[in-house]
Amino acid sequence: MRYYLTAGEASGDLHGSNLIRALLAEDPEAEFRFRGGDLMAAAAGIPPVAHYREGAVMGPSDILAKAGSLLGSLNRCKQDIADWKPDAVILIDYPGFNLRLARFCHARGIRVFYYIAPKTWASRARRNEDLRKYVDHLFIVFPFEVPYFTKAGVPFIYKGNPLVDAIDAHSFERPCDERYLAVLPGSRAGEIKRTMPVCMEVADELGLQVLVAGAPSASAQDYERWTAGRANVKVLFGRTYDILKYADAAVINSGTASLEAALIGTPQVVCWSSSALTWWYAKHLLRVGKHIPYISLGNLCLGREAFRELLQADFNKANVLQELRRLLSDGAYRTRMQEDYRQIRETLGGSGASREVARSMINEIKSNIV
């Protein structure tokens, strides 16, 4: 059968790659086309029709700046789907783009699966109506989404979280011999630009070896302005799980990486800052701190704070240093965090999520073939 997948950022590329492998395991004759990244390309054995780098955005300011290129990419994707005629289109997160594709595909009788639900529990609940109207099956991956989508009246399938399998399957290898601090500054250019300066000031103060996990969509040159002249700082690509596994502690720019760190067991502090417009959006529309108590997936899964979140003005050298020194020296604090991590993992269910999702998708397609 033919599967067309679309992902718009690094986390979607990761989930898409695991799903492609699972689909191939269940359907060895599967054919793929996709808008995604290098991980999906490696899993499918073919290049993407478009790379997610061309549309990676963070907040309304980025969306406004890249509106023209995003529209062009969307139109090319629509045409490619219409020409290729897949048995199903699998949309991975990235709702601003993918919900438009859902409407397009639904109108043409193409089966639509949505994998990694839009975060309508945070904002834009009106998108639930689009999910009901244009998506054949929604596959969610977080336990706190179960009561939310049930109450919202959006049918869903929950098979657990694919990160559990991705981490369990990884063969860890220590990235360096020294003790070190891990820095994960995010995957988007804006995140890197806002996170790296503070993290490098912290590195200078602590005097530790620092390993920066380079984003798949970035290059070494994207970090040079902050790493140049700092012999204790190295940027490594394709080693994120290894970097997290053996780090004494990690500074993480929210996102999927904070949940990965929790599953791996890395003591962490989450740090996030953005443009003034994006922060206003987060405070007043996402209602971060009120309706949404946390921005980190691990804390949301647990329902309370397992690790600190330093947001916007609170993300500064003094606060990061204070939290890192506590992580590095307070054994009881680290032990409590590890217990919280164990509970986070329990909320995500057992192994085999990607394979179960693949089976559900294949069975649904077969059940509708005349």
- Summarize pLDDT for 15-32 with one digit per residue, the tens: 999 999 999 999 999 999
> Looking at residue 216, what DSSP letter applies?
T
- The average pLDDT across 280-307 equals 77
Q: Classify strands 111-115 and 2-7 as parallel, antiparallel or unpaired.
A: unpaired
- The average pLDDT across 173-200 equals 95
The domains of the chain, with CATH numbers, are: 2-160+352-367 (3.40.50.2000), 180-347 (3.40.50.2000)
Say if CB 209 and CB 182 are below 8 A apart.
no
CA distance 83 to 74: 14
Structure tokens at 91: 């949309």
Q: What pLDDT score was predicted for residue 65?
A: 47
Q: What pLDDT score was predicted for residue 311?
A: 92
Where is 56: in which H helix or E strand? none
Q: What pLDDT score was predicted for residue 352?
A: 94
- Does pLDDT of 369 surpass 70? no
CA distances from 86 to 77, 102, 132, 223 (A): 12, 13, 21, 40
- Does pLDDT of 367 surpass 60? yes
Nearest by Cα to 212 from 179, 178, 177, 252: 252
Say if CB 202 and CB 324 are below 8 A apart.
yes
Nearest by Cα to 214 from 195, 228, 235: 235
How far is CA 236 from its chain centroid?
A: 19
- Does pLDDT of 347 surpass 80? yes
- The average pLDDT across 319-341 equals 98
- The region, left, alpha or beta by phi > 0 then psi within -120 to 50, assigned to residue 344 is alpha
State pLDDT tens for residues 256-265: 899 999 999 9
Say if CB 40 and CB 16 are below 8 A apart.
yes
Say if CB 238 and CB 354 are below 8 A apart.
no
State pLDDT tens for residues 53-77: 875 554 554 554 455 677 889 999 9
CA distances from 75 to 12, 33, 65, 171, 276 (A): 20, 16, 18, 40, 31
* More confident site: 71 or 168: 168
- The average pLDDT across 188-196 equals 92
Which residues touch 315 (CB under 8 Å, ≥6 apart)? 198, 271, 272, 273
Percent of the chain with pLDDT over 90: 81
* More confident site: 157 or 122: 157
Q: What pLDDT score was predicted for residue 262?
A: 98
State pLDDT tens for residues 228-239: 999 999 999 999
* More confident site: 278 or 242: 242
- The average pLDDT across 142-169 equals 95
CA distance 364 to 370: 12
CA distance 76 to 88: 18
Q: What is the pTM of this model?
A: 0.88
Say if CB 158 and CB 140 are below 8 A apart.
yes
At residue 276 the predicted structure's pLDDT band, cuts being 50, 70 and 90, is: low
Q: What pLDDT score was predicted for residue 370?
A: 45
At residue 292, φ and ψ (nearest 5 deg) are -110, 105
Query: In whole numbers, what is the pLDDT of the chain averaged over residues?
Result: 92
At residue 216 the predicted structure's pLDDT band, cuts being 50, 70 and 90, is: confident
- Does pLDDT of 285 surpass 60? no
Choose the weakest-confidence range: 33-47, 226-240, 280-294.
280-294
> Looking at residue 122, what DSSP letter applies?
T
